[in-house]
Amino acid sequence: MRPDLAIISQWIAPGSRVLDLGCGDGTLLVHLRQTRNVSGYGLEINDAKIVKCVANRVDVIQADLDAGLAHFFDANSFDYVVMSHTLQATHHPDRMLDEMLRVGKQGIVTFPNVGHWKNRLQLALHGVAPRSRAAPEEWYNTPNIRLCTLRDFEALCQEKGIDILERTVVDYAHRANVSSHFLPNLLGEIAIYRFCRGCSSP
């Protein structure tokens, strides 16, 4: 299992209901089911990944996240809604956060930090759209259409009245270090957030 998914799993209480948006092959839900007695659903658009979810006995719905979640789930249907490396690939991440907190009590997202120092250096010295280990594609074929920095994300949360409960900033291998703790927006490659609106941390 990817290290970021291992970090996410530590934030999820046993016996919870979880919705995984852009769930891939269902790895996270399988792990949570086996280790934390979690139930839930995955949403995925890729046909091949849906086949893998079915093989892994994961309840999955084929859907385009940009179309929203209202057709599938009522308010407060889940304890946690997870988006791992998917938020930046949606057309309206601000609306996506609202949808996450409509159907779930808490949200968890991970995304590449475009404010990392290597990205800044590429733009400053070479004048080209930055590429990184976390977002390696060229500007013209990247699925990442809404890249942001940690400060951008936190400003959006403040604007929307969303409370950040936990933040972990890690490198590409999902390892935390002291320097990224003190200068997260400059030295962190990947951000992992847990958040809610009008709730308290369990």
In this predicted structure, the answer to whether residue 30 has a pLDDT above a threshold of 90 is: yes
Encoded tokens for 201: 């941390």
Q: Where are the domains of the chain?
A: 3-112+149-196
**φ/ψ of residue 106, rounded to 5:** -135, 155
Interior angle at CA 91, CA 86 and CA 94, nearest 5: 80
How far apart, in whole angstroms, are the C-alpha atoms of residue 19 and residue 65?
Answer: 12
How far apart, in whole angstroms, are the C-alpha atoms of residue 99 and residue 18?
Answer: 14
Q: Please give the C-alpha separations between residue 121 and each of 85, 92, 154, 175, 188, in angstroms, as whole numbers.
A: 23, 28, 23, 22, 14
How far apart, in whole angstroms, are the C-alpha atoms of residue 190 and residue 169?
Answer: 6
Helix (H) or strand (E) holding 100: helix 93-103
DSSP reduced 3-state for 43 = strand
Model confidence at 200, pLDDT cuts 50, 70, 90, reads low
Q: What is the mean pLDDT of residues 167-183?
A: 75
How far apart, in whole angstroms, are the C-alpha atoms of residue 29 and residue 10?
Answer: 13
Would the pTM count as exceeding 0.85?
A: yes
CATH of 3-112+149-196, one of 3.30.1550.10, 3.40.1790.10, 3.40.50.150, 3.40.50.2300: 3.40.50.150
How far apart, in whole angstroms, are the C-alpha atoms of residue 74 and residue 89?
Answer: 24
Strand 190-196 and strand 163-170: the pairing is: antiparallel
In this predicted structure, the answer to whether residue 174 has a pLDDT above a threshold of 70 is: no
Q: Please give the C-alpha separations between residue 27 and each of 35, 60, 127, 164, in angstroms, as whole numbers.
A: 12, 12, 38, 25
Cα 105 to its chain centre, rounded Å, is: 15
Query: Per-residue pLDDT tens for 180-198?
Result: 677 888 888 899 999 999 8
Query: Per-residue pLDDT tens for 107-123?
Result: 999 999 988 878 788 88
Would you state the pLDDT for residue 128? 77
